[in-house]
Amino acid sequence: MLEIRYYLLFIKNMTSLEISSSASTRRRNCCYSPLVEDSAFEPSRKDMDEGEEKSKEVINVTTEKLPVDEVPQLVISPLCGAVSLFVGTTRNNFEGKKVISLEYEAYLPMAENEVKKICSDIRQKWPVKHIAVFHGLGLVPGSEASIISAVSSAHRAASLEAVSYATDTLKAKMPICQRKYTKSHHLGKET
């Protein structure tokens, strides 16, 4: 247990550039780092506070371009061993026609309330820590993200199931109108 705690402290103190370096280097550094002995290890107040970290939900329904690289960072926690992420992008075709963009419309308070309900459902079904749900509004060009769901949990099964549930339920229940556009016209509305 102390070795794991030391490893988490080691990773937490690394910069994001160091963390993104090769996994073999990271593991090698960890494996050859000195171990902390029972008598020498006194958890700091900061370490104890991390054990009391509050769960959070980050909900953003926006006309801005979705920050794909930033969303996973919003749900990372030292208490969790898993972060699951889904990024839905605009596909370039629909029923044999070339799609150049999607357009989303929503009544914002209603859409945000539905996302809050979905987050509440997730918390009742799975032991998750943090949840982030982003959905684009307005025109979303081809290959650009229109939805991002991210969930953190202690173990992968809960976060994988929760992010899948969030994505499926958003698609089914969120009050958003979607239009598909080709070069010549739009292909109609989906609600």
Residue 55 has a pLDDT of 96
Token pair, residue 153, equals 């949990």
DSSP strand pairing (82-89 vs 138-141) = unpaired
pTM over 0.85: no
Matching residue, tokens 């996973």 = 72
CB-count exposure of residue 11 (10 Å: 0-12, 13-18, 19+)? middle
Residue among 173, 147, 150, 175 nearest 162 (CA): 150
Residue 142 has a pLDDT of 92
pLDDT in tens, 54-107: 999 999 999 999 999 999 999 999 999 999 999 999 999 988 889 999 999 999
| Least confident stretch, 27-31, 140-144, 148-152, 158-162 | 27-31
Residues 186 and 177: their CA atoms lie apart, in Å, by 13
Residues 139 and 66: their CA atoms lie apart, in Å, by 12
| Residue 46 clears pLDDT 60, i.e. is over it | no
Going by pLDDT thresholds of 50, 70 and 90, the confidence category of residue 186 is low
